A and B are shown apart, each in its own frame.
Chain A
Amino acid sequence: MNELQFFVAASAIFFAIGVYGLLSKRNAVRILFSVEIIINAASLNIAAFARYMPYNLGNAQSIAIFVIALAAAEAAAGLALIIEAFRLRGSVDVEEMDELKG
């Protein structure tokens, strides 16, 4: 087992935990947590490949920084949406948000 495998395995574990939360939780905030965990797993993956297969370390870190910034934007918009949904219905249970159901 080489070092790259260790970090990729770690990011795979985080990704799997995130998928578990995404599929099993009904609270919208927890689902947002899961998405954050998944995005962080992805940025760890990028960082690991950048470190152990250095082509251009500056570029790789820039891409990871873009991922972090995108995730921050997603968190801000997602939380605002969740707060709005909570105001409208007094609950953040995604099973109850079925107005768009055909």
Chain B
Amino acid sequence: MTRLDYLLAIAILAFTSLMALLALESKSLVYGAVSLSGFFLGLSLFFFELGLLYLGVFQLLVYVGAVSVLILFAVMVIGHTPRKPTVGRFGGLGFLGGLFIALAAVFAGLAMLFSFLDLAVDTILQSLIYIGPVVVLLAFAVLFRGEPRGRSSYRFEAFGVLGAFLIFGSFLGALSYLGSLSVFSGDVTFSMADVAQSLLGQYGLLMVVLGLLLASAAFGAVALAKKEKEEK
């Protein structure tokens, strides 16, 4: 990867993580669903950046196309539930929190850029450098949220941030190990025939099982969604 590629990848990372956070934190579920499709789009850009064109196109078709529309329709059916404010709602100072999250994504990107320019010393330290701002500012976002302080929303948020911390911390060891590996960074060449061969050859049975699973999921979804109408 050239330095320009890195810049592009960092930009995609910032965009994608911002979209993921917006999907969880945006005010209305519809915006959340749209942000989630932005996240799927960012992920397909990652696949293109990796050079895995087929996977990127598949991701675009299935996620950005089908799953996003499905989620949007479901959100529309559920609609707005104004009875009780949900946890993920911006308002007043909470908006500031959202801004912090956006800034955190930018800072994370910058810190990562610095680490690529070989200014940082240790892999774990590097990882902490670029995840640190995100987690700290996420905690800020939680603290500054303009939410009514009732019930257990803060406890849940604290659990969430702590969980995210722990999960990422558990990844740090693996990340530092990967730093010691020599990876194949040349251009990869693959043909559609490779994918087709493995899909229909080695994984042929799995493909059939997956088809059955998808069909049963579709039937199950229809049966679940139709039930109420029949009872009327």
Query: Is B106 among interface residues, defined by CB-CB distance under 8 A?
Result: no
Q: How many residues of A contact B (CB 8 A)?
A: 75
- Bound CA span A61–B192, Å: 10
What is the minimal beta-carbon distance from B153 to any residue of chain A, in angstroms?
A: 8
Q: Which residues of chain A come closer than 8 Å to B58, judged between CB atoms?
A: 65, 68
User: Known: A54-B188, A66-B206, A70-B213. Is A20-B163 also a contact (CB below 8 A)?
Assistant: yes
Closest to B162 in A: A23
**What are the residues of chain B within 8 A of A37 when measuring CB–CB?**
20, 23-24, 36, 39
User: Is the C-beta of B13 less than 8 angstroms from some C-beta in chain A?
Assistant: yes
Write the B66-101 contact mask toward A (1 if CB under 8 angstroms, else 0).
Answer: 110011001101100101101110000000000000
Which residues from chain B contact A27 at a C-beta distance below 8 Å?
Answer: 29, 86-88
User: Distance in Å from the Cβ of A43 to the closest Cβ of chain B?
Assistant: 8
Q: Which residues of A (72-91) have their CB < 8 Å from a CB of B?
A: 72-77, 79-84, 86-87, 90-91
Q: Which of A8, A76, A84 has a CB less than 8 Å from the CB of B217?
A: A76
Interface residues of B in 151-185 (CB under 8 A from A): 153, 156-157, 159-165, 167-168, 171, 174-175, 178-179, 181, 183-185
Whether A48 contacts B179 in the complex (CB less than 8 A), given A17-B17, A30-B32, A58-B195, comes out as: no
B4 at interface by CB-CB < 8 Å? no
Shortest CB distance B169–A (Å): 9
Complexed CA–CA distance, A7 and B70 (Å): 28
Residue A99 is within 8 A (CB to CB) of chain B in the complex: no
Picked from B51, B67, B78, the residue with its CB within 8 Å of the CB of A75 is B67
Q: How near does chain A come to B198, taking the closest CB pair, in angstroms?
A: 4
A97 interface contact, C-beta 8 A: no
Interface string of B196-232 (1 = CB under 8 A from A): 1111001100100010011001101110110110000
Question: B63 near A79 (CB under 8 angstroms)?
Answer: no
- How many Å lie between the Cα of A27 and that of B75 in the bound state? 11
Out of B13, B134, B179, which one reaches A2, CB within 8 Å?
B179
Kindly identify, within residues 88 to 138 of chain B, every residue whose CB is under 8 Å from any CB belonging to chain A.
88, 108, 112, 115-116, 120, 123, 126-127, 130-131, 134-135, 138
Can you list 16 A-B contacts with CB-CB less than 8 angstroms, sorted by A residue number? A4-B178, A5-B123, A6-B116, A14-B17, A20-B164, A23-B162, A23-B164, A24-B88, A26-B87, A37-B23, A43-B59, A58-B195, A58-B197, A68-B59, A84-B225, A93-B84
Given A3-B185, A13-B17, 16 new contacts (CB under 8 A) = A2-B183, A4-B178, A5-B178, A8-B175, A20-B160, A24-B88, A24-B159, A24-B161, A25-B160, A33-B24, A52-B185, A54-B188, A61-B198, A75-B70, A83-B74, A93-B86
What are the 4 tightest A-B residue pairs by CB atom distance, in nearest-first order?
A24-B160, A58-B194, A73-B217, A80-B221
